[in-house]
Amino acid sequence: MDNKKTFDLETVYLDDENNALVIIDQTLIPIEVKYLHLTEQEDIWEAIYELRVRGAPAIGITAGYGAYLGVKASKAQDYESFYQEFKKVKDYLASSRPTAVNLFWALDKMDACVKKNKNRSIPEIIEALHQQSEEIKAEDVRTNKAIGEYGLSLVQPNTGLLTHCNAGSLATGKYGTATAPMYLGHERGYNFKVFADETRPLLQGARITTFELAQAGIDVTLIADNMASTVMKNGWVQAVFVGCDRVAANGDVANKIGTSGVAILAHEYGIPFYVCAPTSTIDMNCPTGADIEIEQRNPEEVYKKWYAKPMAPEEGVKFFNPAFDVSDAKYVTAIITEFGIARPPFDITLKQIMDKKAQENA
């Protein structure tokens, strides 16, 4: 295992000299920290689909680099031929996962880059795509730091925090989203005590969140998903921070399966439930959570993936394995973005956040 602390590891980066996208294979954590050097589009697609790279921001970064690498060696002689080649790469990568809006956001930014530079030479367009892909990652790092600062303003030192799944540094360019307040608080002596749900069936909380928080020196306790109610009832949790894969215009939030249960529990116990959401995950064209497509995954993840032998009968039993669920806006205390904190009514405040982003980027 690499001796570097997790916070210092780069989850996703571009090895331009060797025409490779480099990722940490998150399916191997915590047993091994292994870098994969991906040079084929099929391997990049597979890495996204199989969660070798995971977390909405990291998926977006991967998509940006993947789109650039997909056309880097283009032999197109004119813009129209080049754009058709790019569009094929874009559509292929977009088919890897349907729920994480960052995937489409990043690909759309790359698409806009091609169109913006249509009057330039093909090599110049390719270089523009290179620069755009690097900016997607740089923007993510800036975004996560800002989310961390806003999130930290909502909690006091020496408090208990709970998080579900992994929205940490390994899911992003750096800092994470839901873990960004934890990292920044740790640096400033806040002495947080973090409870991490295991997050079945893929165990991202157990395998990844506990791994990276422990490596950073943060006090972290692993609990099974069905223990969240108990630790809340015991008074050990003063705030919940989770990430998200998509935010609807009304404030409904899609995140890893099990998040909605945490939101309902937090509401019952009077604990604030904070969603850390880069504006790239806010989809103002999606009216409510009911409009979010939920990815259905291989049933074997539920009863077989982590076991030497199947833990359920393989015949006569049906399996249901949605990757995400939707937390209704009524259970969300606030949505923390890089442009500020949105509170109910979300249909108004999210629009204000997006308007602020548009003004600052104008």
Predicted confidence (pLDDT) per residue in 323-351, tens digit: 999 999 999 999 999 999 999 999 999 99
The length of the chain in residues reads 362
> What is the distance between the alpha carbons of residues 318 and 328, in angstroms, rounded to a whole number?
27
With a cut of 50, which residues of the chain have pLDDT below it? Answer: 1-4
Nearest alpha-carbon partner for 338 in 90, 152, 164, 144: 144
Q: Which CATH number fits domain 145-361: 3.40.50.10470, 3.10.310.10, 3.40.50.80, 3.40.50.720?
A: 3.40.50.10470
Catalytic residue among 111, 197, 245, 252: 245
pLDDT score of 249: 98
Return the CATH number of the domain spanning residue range 6-142: 1.20.120.420
Which pLDDT score is estimated for 3? 36
Catalytic residue list contains 252: no
Q: Return the amino acid letter for 142.
A: R
Phi, psi dihedrals of residue 155, rounded to the nearest 5°: -130, 160
pLDDT at 5: 54
Q: Are 338 and 147 in contact (CB under 8 A)?
A: yes
Which single residue is written with the structure tokens 């215009």?
249
> Global pTM?
0.87
User: Which sequence spans correspond to the domains of the chain?
Assistant: 6-142, 145-361
In this prediction, residue 7 carries a pLDDT of: 56
pLDDT of residue 8: 67
pLDDT at 231: 98
User: What local confidence, expressed as pLDDT, does residue 174 receive?
Assistant: 85
Question: Are 162 and 232 a contacting pair, CB within 8 Å?
Answer: yes
- pLDDT of 57 reads 85
Report how far apart the first and last C-alpha atoms of the chain are (Å, whole number). Answer: 45
pLDDT score for 10 = 86
Residue type at 329 in one-letter notation: A
Per-residue confidence (pLDDT) for residue 280, from 0 to 100: 87
